[in-house]
Amino acid sequence: MQTEIIQEGSTKIIVPILEKGANYPPSSAPVFYNPRMELCRDIGVACVAAFAGKRELSYVDVLGATGIRGVRIANEVGLDVTINDWNQKAHELIEKNIELNQLNAKAMRKNANVLLSESHFDIVDIDPFGSPAPFLDAACKSVNRMLCITATDTAPLCGAHKASGIRKYGAIPLKTEYHPEMGVRILLGAIVRSLARYDKSVSPLLSYSREHYFRVHLAVEKGAAKSNKMMEQIGFICHCFGCGFRIWKYGLAAHMPEKCPSCAGTISLAGPLWLGRLHDKEFCNLVLHELESRKLGTRERAIKLVHLCTEELDNPTYYDLHEICKELKIAPPPMEAVIKIVRKAGFKSSRTHFSGTSFKTDAPLNDIKEALCR
Ligand SMILES: C[S@@+](CC[C@H](N)C(=O)[O-])C[C@H]1O[C@@H](n2cnc3c(N)ncnc32)[C@H](O)[C@@H]1O
Ligand SMILES: [Zn+2]
């Protein structure tokens, strides 16, 4: 395996060199490394640093590959780090990367689910090929304080591969105009239900969708009462593909309308999924502070993304401006103008990190249309 040394943050990492002109995905390299995930790792470092503060917490990078996430956390945050991968070549590279940065992090070579079932960690980071579903149960059993989870199986989560989404997450996703948010909420719903089995609860700190992946960072607490409260935030989204009407209902046995109250068309159901908030705004401000004070390759883009997350409303869906304007047969106004128009009509409104052409609001669709035509 040919390797080179690259730098992310203040950490040096030995990574495999893809053959010149290679057109295969990074997943088919002898050890996985995807430079396109630097933004995700930079934000991950900032989130873990913001969460840990001055505490000496244990952190596990369960699916390490080169070990880049764990090595960065050991080097740039200074936690007590364990890095695991069952692949022999990956394990050797993890050991070399720990040595290169002169860290005393621990390298393990176990089945991730075995490691997580045997030990508790304060922070558990799961960064799999595709779906995190096979690791959720063990991760939820192991974790004490914080879960960081990536999913790259966006098609099943968003409803593009519906049957696969149902199998992996025990929930029905719908391919709506707000499908990336649907995906994040289906993923959170599955994590929340796994945690509830261990009488644990979560509070989402920062959850986002970007390119081909979703990433969530969650604070975890123990206790059945809090876990019960958390389960109240699980529910369903009722969506009408005829007119775009949507409402959400809390609870696993919620009563759903059969017909769309707006156009009398058929209502489709998505869920069970997470209807609670996606971010903790105070935490996001700490993350912004971490991003601003660090030398990071993706600093500006990371700040922009987290900043958008702090500003967005907590409503579980959003509207695509172009779709609405196409139906109204009007030219789409600039986004800032739309937000002002909707606010002036007496509603809340914000941009969303999920899509540059969309906005969030608590206004019903008919009120949005009325405001835009005024
Ligand atoms: C997507 S890569 C991890 C990428 C890495 N976190 C990064 O940021 O570059 C997934 C890794 O998980 C390892 N893996 C997959 N299933 C595993 C299992 N059940 N136990 C341990 N390692 C596993 C693979 O060998 C692979 O190296
Ligand atoms: Zn309708």
Q: Is 359 helix (H, G, I), strand (E, B) or coil?
A: strand
The alpha carbon of 31 and the centre of ligand 1 are apart by a number of angstroms equal to: 9
Does residue 316 belong to any structural domain of this protein? no
Q: Which of 311, 331, 355 is the last residue before a domain boundary?
A: 311
My answer on whether 171 and 290 are in the same domain is yes
Tokens of residue 142, six digits: 């192991």
Ligand that comes closest to the CA of residue 128: 1
Ligand 1: residue of 91, 110, 129 to mutate (most ligand atoms within 8 A of CB) is 129
The pLDDT value recorded for residue 173 is: 95
My answer on whether 146 and 169 are in the same domain is yes
My answer on whether 95 and 180 are in the same domain is yes
Q: Which of 293, 311, 329 is the last residue before a domain boundary?
A: 311
The alpha carbon of 85 and the centre of ligand 1 are apart by a number of angstroms equal to: 6
Does residue 122 belong to any structural domain of this protein? yes
Residue nearest to atom 4 of ligand 1 (CA): 65
Ligand 1: residue of 33, 40, 63 to mutate (most ligand atoms within 8 A of CB) is 63
Q: What is the DSSP letter of 159?
A: T
Residue nearest to atom 27 of ligand 1 (CA): 65
The atom of ligand 1 lying closest to the CA of 63 is 12
My answer on whether 258 and 334 are in the same domain is no
Does residue 139 belong to any structural domain of this protein? yes
Write the DSSP string, 203-271. Answer: EEEEEEEETTEEEEEEEEEE-HHHHHHHHTTEEEEEE-TTT--EEEEESTT----SB-TTT--B-EEEE
My answer on whether 20 and 140 are in the same domain is yes
Ligand 1: residue of 27, 32, 59, 114 to mutate (most ligand atoms within 8 A of CB) is 32
Does residue 332 belong to any structural domain of this protein? yes
β-pair type (246-250, 234-239): antiparallel
Range of the domain at 348: 321-373
Taking the chain (374 residues) in consecutive chunks of 10 residues, what is each chunk's mean pLDDT?
95 89 69 95 98 98 98 98 98 98 98 98 98 98 98 93 95 96 98 98 98 97 97 97 95 93 95 98 98 98 98 97 94 96 98 97 95 92
The atom of ligand 1 lying closest to the CA of 31 is 27
Q: What is the DSSP letter of 317?
A: -
| Cβ 90 under 6 angstroms from ligand 1 | yes
| Cβ 108 under 6 angstroms from ligand 1 | no
My answer on whether 251 and 346 are in the same domain is no
The pLDDT value recorded for residue 25 is: 65
The alpha carbon of 323 and the centre of ligand 2 are apart by a number of angstroms equal to: 15
Does residue 119 belong to any structural domain of this protein? yes
My answer on whether 238 and 345 are in the same domain is no
My answer on whether 97 and 233 are in the same domain is yes
The alpha carbon of 242 and the centre of ligand 2 are apart by a number of angstroms equal to: 5
Q: Whole-angstrom Cα distance, residue 188 to residue 271? A: 11
The alpha carbon of 35 and the centre of ligand 1 are apart by a number of angstroms equal to: 15
The pLDDT value recorded for residue 159 is: 87
Q: Which of 311, 346, 364 is the last residue before a domain boundary?
A: 311
The alpha carbon of 266 and the centre of ligand 2 are apart by a number of angstroms equal to: 7
| Cβ 13 under 6 angstroms from ligand 1 | no
Ligand that comes closest to the CA of residue 126: 1
Does residue 190 belong to any structural domain of this protein? yes
What phi, psi does 26 have (nearest 5°)? Answer: -55, -20
> Which amino acid makes up residue 44?
G
Residue 97 is part of a domain; what is its CATH number? 3.40.50.150
The alpha carbon of 61 and the centre of ligand 2 are apart by a number of angstroms equal to: 45
| Cβ 87 under 6 angstroms from ligand 1 | yes
The pLDDT value recorded for residue 110 is: 98
| Cβ 359 under 6 angstroms from ligand 1 | no
Q: Domains in the chain: how many in total?
A: 2
| Cβ 250 under 6 angstroms from ligand 1 | no
Q: Whole-angstrom Cα distance, residue 240 to residue 281? A: 31
The pLDDT value recorded for residue 23 is: 58
Distance of CA 166 to the CA centre of its chain: 19
Which residues of the chain form beta strands (DSSP E)? 3-8, 11-16, 58-61, 80-84, 106-108, 121-126, 143-151, 200-210, 213-222, 234-239, 246-250, 268-274, 319-320, 349-352, 355-361
Residue 363 is part of a domain; what is its CATH number? 3.30.56.70
Q: What is the DSSP letter of 172?
A: B
Does residue 57 belong to any structural domain of this protein? yes
My answer on whether 256 and 350 are in the same domain is no
* Element housing 20 (H / E): none
My answer on whether 211 and 66 are in the same domain is yes
What phi, psi does 182 have (nearest 5°)? Answer: -55, -45
My answer on whether 238 and 355 are in the same domain is no
Tokens of residue 261, six digits: 């109250």
| Cβ 196 under 6 angstroms from ligand 1 | no
My answer on whether 224 and 330 are in the same domain is no
For ligand 2, an ion, list residues with CB under 5 A: 240, 242-243, 245, 260, 262-263, 265
At what angle are helices 365-373 and 335-344 packed, to 10 degrees?
Answer: 110
